[in-house]
Amino acid sequence: MNVVTDATHLFLSPAGLSAALAWNFAVLASIQLTVRLIRAFSLRATAIGAILLTGATVPMTLVFHLVLGNGLGWLPAMMVVTGVVGGAIAARVLRFRRRRSMVVAAIGTGLLSGPWAAFLVLPP
């Protein structure tokens, strides 16, 4: 198999999807615990947000890998889109109220969740 097919199968495998979900949960949990008080942390809301974020990052990673050929010039655009999705999840799912908190969540999500999946499928 070629590198593209191997990486795609790896990322879409149960282990790959589980890793993406676990990573996105950790990203949202860390942002939530950093921006909000610990007592405001919601395991349920974080899990729902992680599922939504994973649902957004998986197709973006596949496009980055299969269509754009892992062009690192596209990575900032992928991070911005992931940040916008993360900001929306912070506002709607995690119920962040302050604009500053939503912006911090968007930046954190874009920096932490956007690039990891792209680098996961970079050819050796």
pLDDT in tens, 4-46: 567 677 788 898 899 899 999 999 999 999 887 777 889 999 9
**Cα–Cα distance between 90 and 7 in angstroms, integer?**
30
The pLDDT of residue 54 is 94
The pLDDT of residue 43 is 93
Q: Work out the average pLDDT over 76-101.
A: 94
On the CB side of 10, CA atoms within 13 Å amount to 16
Closest CA to 25 of 120, 98, 89, 96: 89
Task: Tell me the whole-structure pTM to 2 decimals.
Answer: 0.87
Backbone angles phi, psi at 122, to 5 degrees: -65, 140
**Cα–Cα distance between 54 and 31 in angstroms, integer?**
16
Query: What is the pLDDT confidence band of residue 2, given thresholds at 50, 70 and 90?
Result: low
pLDDT in tens, 48-84: 999 999 999 989 888 888 888 777 888 899 999 999 9
The pLDDT of residue 105 is 94
Copy the structure tokens of residue 24. Answer: 């996105």
The answer to whether 75 and 61 have CB atoms below 8 angstroms apart is no
The pLDDT of residue 28 is 96
